[in-house]
Amino acid sequence: MRKYLFPALLFFFSCTAPSDKYPRGIEHVIVIGVDGLSPDGIRNANTPVMDDMIANGAVKWNVRTVLTTASSQNWASMIMGAGPEVHGIIDNDWERDDHSLPPIVAGEEGIFPTIFGRIREAKPQAEIGTVYNWSGFGRLFEKKAVNYDKTFKTEDATATDFVEYIKNKKPVFGFVHFDHVDHAGHHDGHGTPIYYEAVAKADSLVGEVLKAIKEAGMEENTLVIITADHGGIGKGHGGPTPEEGEIAMILHGKGVKKGYVVQQQVYTYDLAATIAFVFNITAPYAWTGRPVKPAFEGFDEPANLWKGKEAIAAPSILPGRVLYKQAGGLYIDQPAEVSMKPNAANSVIHYTIDGTEPDKNSPVYTDKFQLDNTAVVQAKAFDDKGNESIISTAYFRVLKPTGNNGLNVRFYHGANWKQVPVFSKLNAAKTWTTYEFGFEEEQIKPLLQKGSSSFGLVFTGYVQIDQPGKYKFYTQSDDGSILYINDKKVVDNDGNHGVKEAAGDITLEAGKHSIRVEYFNGGGGYWLDVFYKAPDGPKQLVPADKLFLR
């Protein structure tokens, strides 16, 4: 008998003891997804529920999203455990039967495997359901994998239905999606009082979900995860900035450390891997996500974790950014006043006014000062532990008008354009002059046709080039824009997209050169900034003192 005992024990342990540890006792996972919820929103809105979850759970404040920072590719990446280059969902126009990039591997429904499908395979009898505010979420997961699949037009109806679903069905895996915070970001702007009110509303809905979990008798064995698809800047998102491309992930409940800040780098596609980890489900090889193990009791940060220097909070340069306006500002017939504020404890601010990167040898900021000429101000914080911040940048433009400064602007009513139209074939509805590229929302809104936010603008004038050489021009726009110098296309940033930057080079002689920027907004939020970089100068907004009508 002894020769059979060891193989029997070996078989027993191979079935009951996984090769890798996983958190024990988690029988339910509830994911609360809040579209457009930024870390700034959680920190600055009235969020007592999420604050308590963070204090009694784990948080990662700077989870990196995938690019572009739009909804479809990020929600897909969250549940698919990989990025767009793998699952093929590259924009909000993606449909199952209409897309350009196929997934690297697909299941029977023709899409990349999701956590919904993996749980269904591993737990055939499990109750799995999702209720979502944005109907587009419904095309991203395997329909056959869920028992319950509902969408509602309002966040309140979504919450009410999901709460009843939890209490009645006690799902093994439930996913709820709220869309109203993103709406506030697009309609009123990120960082505005209305945006923060929407975040506060989301917090109250999270409270309702937690109450339902408790009433269902699931509280002692449920993991709750709060996550988002992107943040935002101004009234949009889609660009490669920290404001748009970083979100917070909160983990709370069974097996989660209390008051813990996750140190390992986390990406939005790590959500699916984390859920698979807590359920002891093998992740598909095609997934690239990794579980956020250190959030759980009994698990340490990765032994090979490389953190580099700790990034401390960057200083604020005032006047700061407000929606579309870059930090700094335009000052006409008066000097610019610059002030700075530290945002990291025990830090010192070093700054420059010539566009060079500040270091510890740069001047130390002690008090506000004035500028008599256009300048790019950059600031960096250094603390007493040797850590440093990223650079804060502000663009101060000082103009003493000559009577010839500025640009001509033509405004056109739009027709749900998908690309920059041929403006020469259209009639302008209004014209005016302005000192710089860009526009104010208060100026545009009265000009829009009822029920439409589609419009176009054409800026024309001359840019003064002081130093001959190769110049780089940039447009940041939502939606599309094209920049011409001397009627030559230099920057092509066309298309229907969120805030995105494009650039192009051109060699110019000293003197004035004609410049034209054509811009359109297909719908929703809108934004335009135009930058340039001289051969030996910093990237900066094309300043008013270099733009002329004639």
User: 270-328 pLDDT, tens per residue?
Assistant: 999 999 999 999 999 999 999 999 999 999 999 999 887 778 889 999 999 887 789 99
Q: Kindly state whether residue 300 falls inside one of the protein's structural domains.
A: no
Q: Per residue in 167-194, pLDDT tens? A: 999 999 999 999 999 999 988 999 999 9
- Regarding whether 128 and 46 lie in a shared domain, the answer is yes
Condensed to tens digits (0 to 9), the pLDDT of residues 358-393 reads: 999 999 999 999 999 999 999 999 999 889 999 999
With contact defined as beta carbons under 8 Å apart, do 454 and 522 qualify? yes
217 and 236 both lie in a single domain: yes
- Mean pLDDT, residues 99-111 taken together: 96
Task: Give yes or no for a contact between 165 and 148, defined as CB atoms under 8 angstroms apart.
Answer: yes
- Does 34 fall in a domain? yes
Q: Looking at the structure, do residues 50 and 154 belong to the same domain, yes or no?
A: yes
Same domain, 261 and 320: no
Residues 147 and 264 in one domain: yes
Using the 3D structure, point to which of 238, 260, 295 is the last residue of a domain: 295
The answer on 338 and 208 residing in a single domain is no
Rounded to an integer, the average pLDDT of 120-142 is 98
* Same domain assignment for residues 146 and 170: yes
Q: Which has more confidence, 465 or 526?
A: 465
CATH number assigned to the domain comprising residue 323: 2.60.40
pLDDT score for 499: 79
pTM as predicted: 0.80
In a domain, 276, yes or no: yes
Statement to judge: residues 260 and 328 lie in one domain:
no
Q: Which of residues 399, 426, 451 is at a domain's end?
A: 399
Same structural domain, 386 and 412:
no
Question: Residue 19 above 70 pLDDT?
Answer: no
Give the domain range for residue 353.
Answer: 311-399
pLDDT of residue 526 exceeding 90: no
> What is the reported pLDDT for 500?
85
Domain boundary among 235, 270, 295: 295
Which CATH number is 132's domain given? Answer: 3.40.720.10
The count of domains in the chain is: 3
CATH number at residue 538: 2.60.120.1560
Instruction: For residues 284 and 341, state if they share a domain.
Output: no
In whole angstroms, how far apart are CA 214 and each of 123, 161, 168, 459?
23, 16, 12, 58
* pLDDT, average across residues 518-538: 93
- Report yes or no on 490 lying in a domain: yes
Q: At what angle do helices 180-187 and 193-215 cross, to 10 degrees?
A: 180
Residue 18 lies in a domain: no
Residue 15 scores a pLDDT above 60: no
Same domain as 392, residue 411: no
Could you tell me the pLDDT band of residue 541, with boundaries at 50, 70 and 90? very high
The yes-or-no verdict on residue 205 having pLDDT over 80 is: yes
pLDDT above 90 as % of the chain: 86
Q: Are residues 392 and 414 in the same domain?
A: no
Mean pLDDT of the chain: 93
Residue 20: the pLDDT is: 57
- For residue 137, which of 153, 117, 158, 151 has the smallest C-alpha distance? 151
Distance CA 104, CA 149 (A): 26
Within a domain: 19 = no
